[in-house]
A = this chain, B = another copy of it.
């Protein structure tokens, strides 16, 4: 079944907020065999909302909206829905009770605006929003369904998973299965990989589709198949996965769609190794990536972010000789940092970075984007100089990803 998503909010059209709700919804409806047909982002404007609902119903039987349900004057989705589906605004005591509970949990006081959340169009069924004050509204017309959810990602995610999705499943019955397989590939550029896989792509059955999703340092390959014959679908997907494994061999570092930090964590846990990081230009971002994975305390001991040269020397034992002769952005300094942190925090593995993230601080010899990265495990130590193009954020992200991949490769080789 196809669905349409409408994302509502002026803040999205001026780029102050990035929509993550539609992506979340897509990731959670795909496994049940449903498909997002289109996502439309519009402002807090009644005419636009009504037009978007018309367009949505013209192309799909289910329309999901997020946003515009807050208590303030700029949020007008509820009133636009009332106009579209008819009825009047009525007081709903269950919603009021829920609002009071949520407000109490947050240690806030109820006021006229939060109380106004308890008025809902008489044309909707209310789904209580247990994690926020804006009620979720379920409308029906001509066998089509629209569900209006809040814009706050946390609320939409929680309520979609717990309440909305189960009700939608009951209402609509899907007889088509969808299956995704994702492979994380290193060592190839996108086009080199496409050439390597040309024959493979030609042999794929029509109902299965291959997509290339390049990210810095990796390419995610995704096979998607959909069919009413689940058995055949799974068998074909298994066959194609095995073929890919044969063709790409060691360049596949994961057969699941997971962050590189999680792939690194799996290897460390399997090999019973611990890790620490010493970060200059990445400023703690490698530690942040590693610790964003649940359970990372099993293998991650800690990190020293040595932004100043003083800290590099006093905490990590980088020598003044190295700093004076080669500068902070050099092989010797990044290796001393890596050895220093693994020794200080007592870990077998380490990653360290030193570079110029920019926009200032570059020179002819070491332009902005120059980063030295070191990875070690026991006595195995590798260090490389890189040049990453782009903005400060991009240099930090690329260096973070590259550092983790250097250690992944080192650990897989040993």
Within 8 A of B (CB), among A1-27: 10-20, 22-27
Contacting residues, chain B, for A18 (C-beta < 8 A): 18-20, 23
CB–CB A73/B308 < 8 A: no
Contacting chain B: which of A77-85, A169-177, A237-245, A285-293?
A: A285-293
- The reply on A168 being an interface residue by CB < 8 A is no
A195's partner among B112, B191, B361, B394 (CB-CB below 8 A) is B112
B301 & A310 in contact (Cβ 8 Å cutoff)? yes
Nearest chain B residue, comparing its CB with the CB of A115: B191
Contact A190 B393 (CB under 8 A): no
Q: Tell me, yes or no, whether A359 is within 8 Å of chain B by CB.
A: yes
Q: Is A113 an interface residue (CB 8 A)?
A: yes
Q: Assess whether A367 is interfacial by the CB under 8 Å rule.
A: no
With both chains docked as a complex, state the minimum distance between the C-beta of A190 and any C-beta of chain B, in angstroms: 6
Which of B28, B113, B389, B392 sits near A191, CB closer than 8 Å?
Answer: B113
B14 touches A41 (CB 8 A): no
Judge whether B113 and A194 touch: CB under 8 Å: yes
A227 at the interface (CB under 8 A from B): no
Q: Within the assembled complex, what's the spacing in Å between the Cα atoms of A389 and B102?
A: 12
Specify which of B23, B73, B291, B346 is in contact with A283 (CB 8 Å cutoff): B291
Name the CB-closest residue of B to A6.
Answer: B38
Interface string of A107-120 (1 = CB under 8 A from B): 01101111000000
Determine if A122 is an interface residue (Cβ-Cβ < 8 Å).
no
Check if A213 is an interface residue, CB within 8 A of chain B: yes
- A302 at the B interface (CB under 8 A): yes
Cβ contacts A353-382/B at 8 Å (1 or 0 each): 000011111000000000000000000000
Complex contact A15–B38 (CB within 8 A): no
Partner of A302, one of B44, B195, B224, B304: B304
A345 at the interface (CB under 8 A from B): yes
- Which residues of the partner chain B approach A212 to less than 8 Å between Cβ atoms? 70, 72, 74
A284 pairs with B303, CB closer than 8 A:
yes
| Interface pair B308/A297, CB less than 8 Å apart | yes
Q: Please judge, given known A-B contacts A222-B16, A285-B284, whether A300 and B307 are in contact too, CB under 8 Å.
A: yes
A265-302 interface code vs B (CB 8 A; 1 in, 0 out): 00000000000010100111111101110111100111
A18-B18, A152-B214 given. 14 additional CB < 8 A pairs?
Answer: A13-B36, A15-B36, A19-B19, A70-B214, A279-B284, A285-B291, A288-B396, A291-B305, A292-B396, A297-B361, A301-B308, A302-B308, A302-B311, A310-B346
Closest 4 pairs (CB-CB, A-B): A283-B291, A284-B287, A284-B284, A15-B26
